[in-house]
Chains A and B, each alone.
Chain A
Amino acid sequence: MSANADASAPNVTELGYNSKVEGEVVHTTVDAALNWFRKNSLWPMPMGLACCGIELMAVGASRFDISRFGSEVMRFSPRQSDVMIVAGTVTYKMALAVRRIYEQMAEPKWVIAMGACASTGGMYRSYAVLQGVDNILPVDVYVAGCPPRPEALLDALIKLQGIVAKERTVWNQKRDVAPAKYGSLGIELGEKGEVVHP
């Protein structure tokens, strides 16, 4: 494979690759390779609920083409997607459906909370609106805006690609609803500061 190792990931050896000297073989870590595959083909599960859903459609249309970043197919099937983009207001009535769909997604999976309503409840501080989808899902990237410009969503996707690049394949991948505990690296520290294996 003629791939370049991802030099931005920590603990991954940087490679000075010269094909004339070394031939068509590349040394890399499993993490680097897998993360490179994953981040460049993040298939979104569009949870387009409200107005942000229209901006999500605009991102998928020709002008702000999301498929140039690898998110070629907007799969509405959770089993076949990697990243759930929660676009729009999540009401309490809808929260159950969102959680269930999230649980049906296969690991590894990430969440982008697009827009003010998904991040914090937005301008709808009322009896029916869930104040932020991070009450029920572990969110990786929040996108501000009401609705965020398509460029902002693409920026969030690039940020998410940066997060994916730093992930560790062998460590704890199953995330709980309390992301503050595990963080996106999936590492938990014990009392003495040592790394706790799951």
Chain B
Amino acid sequence: MATQTIEFRDTAARSAEAAASAPPEELRDIQGDKLVLNMGPSHPSTHGVLRIIIEMDGETITRAVPDIGYLHRGDEKIAENMTYTQFIPYTDRLDYLAPLANNVAYALAVEKLMGIDQKLPPRCQYIRVICCELARISAHLLGLGAFAMDVGALTVFLHTFTEREKIYNLCESLTGARFTTSYTRIGGVTRDLPPGWVDQVRKFLDEVVVNIAESETLLTRNRIWVDRTKDVGVISREMAIDYGLTGPNLRGSGVDYDVRKASPYLVYKDLEFDIPVGSVGDSYDRYLVRMEEMRQSVRILHQCLDKLPGGADNRSKEPVNIADGKTVLPAKDKVLTSMEELIHQFMLVTQGVDAPPGEIYFGAENPKGELGFYIDSRGGGTPHRLKIRAPSFVNLSILPAVLPGHLMSDVVAILGSFDFVMGECDR
């Protein structure tokens, strides 16, 4: 029996050939020109309204041009017409999979501008870290679920959504809303932890670890999953840095950059956790990085809950807001009886916090990458310019460089592994 050699060239060679190919004369009427496919703004990969115009030679992609802006709502212009506190609900809707993390990042940015970010009470800082890490678990669960669902593994989606419902319950008892929480305020948080919340979080953490392990058994060594994601969407280290990728996409390519370690904010320097870093930079690595980040978030949460100043019920009455009447709304019973608090309440609600003139940039490690706020303040309660450095916007800019050379069916795997959110990308 003669053996037959089948040759598969790598994606770079296929891409080069596809891009340069012109069919010979006799085949021209059969092979024809390249196909332009519009992967339109409404498509089943539940990643939001992204449109990609793909030019293909058969099944191999030769060019891909993303078209964004279908969810551009004018957040930055709205910010110039709102006080800092009034803008907080808009930050929820940026990365709407992890609203608590956006709230924290924005509040920290404004507090950095005002120079009070080092004066936050420790309980407030721990609460904010808990919020950030819960949001990270929530966002990665959904990213994973949507990625798996697009590639075909529907069960994982249902499993991760069950865990997310538990996080929604936690958020609801903490903030009042399932998501779109608007929990942080300039100088603190809206309210302290409700009684029994810490125990609910511990119970959830025990359950989520089991669920993550289950999803892992379904995916990580699954032959189909590995075949569809290994060596698909390879991004080299240099390319990742040059294109400004951040977050799990950057770490999947082997760059050890995490804002929580590089420029720690809140109490991250007191917490022990590891940063998972990939080696190859393909979709499989990005998936593994996200799985491991969830486990590290569980680890951080356990430490925070153990170290929480004031404990679960705050019997020692630790403050959760800085004690400055000009920044934080005073207690309502004082407002209605005492003159000074009444004036503070009035000024804060009508004019907002009085930020000094100056400009700052603050970047926080959001689940999708580095969410940065550049605030240019000319004094007063509204910013002159608020620029949101959205990680998904920057992550998507690499698509025209990554997609060519892959097959059409790889597009879904690559998009899923990038885990972007259009609300953030378009603002």
Partners in one complex: yes
A149 contacts partner chain B, Cβ-Cβ < 8 Å: yes
CB atoms of B69 and A93 under 8 A apart: yes
CB atoms of B74 and A128 under 8 A apart: yes
CB atoms of A149 and B178 under 8 A apart: yes
A132 contacts partner chain B, Cβ-Cβ < 8 Å: no
A106 contacts partner chain B, Cβ-Cβ < 8 Å: no
CB atoms of A47 and B179 under 8 A apart: no
**SS class, residues of chain B in contact with chain A:** loop
CB within 8 Å for A58 and B161 given contacts A50-B48, A93-B72, A94-B41: yes
- Please pick, from A89, A98, A149, the residue contacting B73 in the complex, using a CB distance under 8 A: A89
Stretch at the interface among B19-27, B90-98, B281-289, B330-338: B90-98
> Smallest CB–CB gap between A121 and chain B, Å?
10
A3 contacts partner chain B, Cβ-Cβ < 8 Å: no
Q: Kindly state the separation between the CA atoms of A88 and B165 in the bound complex, as whole angstroms.
A: 20
Q: Kindly state the separation between the CA atoms of A146 and B99 in the bound complex, as whole angstroms.
A: 13
> Smallest CB–CB gap between A161 and chain B, Å?
25
Please give 9 more A-B residue pairs, beta carbons under 8 A apart, in addition to A50-B422, A91-B70.
A49-B48, A51-B92, A51-B423, A61-B162, A76-B44, A89-B71, A97-B42, A128-B74, A149-B178
Nearest B residue (CB) for A52:
B96
CB atoms of A61 and B42 under 8 A apart: no
CB within 8 Å for A91 and B93 given contacts A57-B46, A61-B158, A62-B158: no
CB atoms of A146 and B178 under 8 A apart: no
CB within 8 Å for A94 and B70 given contacts A48-B46, A126-B77, A147-B180: yes
Q: Which residues of B contact A126 (CB under 8 A)?
A: 73-74, 77-78
Q: Which residues of B contact A93 (CB under 8 A)?
A: 69-70, 72
CB within 8 Å for A97 and B74 given contacts A51-B93, A61-B158, A123-B89: no
Nearest B residue (CB) for A54:
B96
Q: Which residues of B contact A123 (CB under 8 A)?
A: 89-90
A133-150 vs B: 1/0 string, CB under 8 Å? 000000000000011010
Q: Kindly state the separation between the CA atoms of A30 and B89 in the bound complex, as whole angstroms.
A: 49
A33-77 vs B: 1/0 string, CB under 8 Å? 000000000000001111101110110011100000000000010
B384-427 contacts to A (CB < 8 Å):
422-423
Q: Which residues of B contact A163 (CB under 8 A)?
A: none
> Smallest CB–CB gap between B242 and chain A, Å?
29
A78-110 contacts to B (CB < 8 Å):
88-89, 91, 93-94, 97-98, 101
A171 contacts partner chain B, Cβ-Cβ < 8 Å: no
CB atoms of B49 and A54 under 8 A apart: no
CB atoms of A58 and B74 under 8 A apart: no
CB atoms of A51 and B158 under 8 A apart: no
> Smallest CB–CB gap between B124 and chain A, Å?
26
Q: Kindly state the separation between the CA atoms of A94 and B157 in the bound complex, as whole angstroms.
A: 27
Q: Which one of A51, A126, A146, A147 has the highest number of Cβ atoms from chain B below 10 Å of its Cβ?
A: A51
B60-81 contacts to A (CB < 8 Å):
69-74, 77-78
Q: Kindly state the separation between the CA atoms of A129 and B46 in the bound complex, as whole angstroms.
A: 21
Q: Which residues of B contact A47 (CB under 8 A)?
A: 42
B151-184 vs A: 1/0 string, CB under 8 Å? 0000001100110110010000000001110000
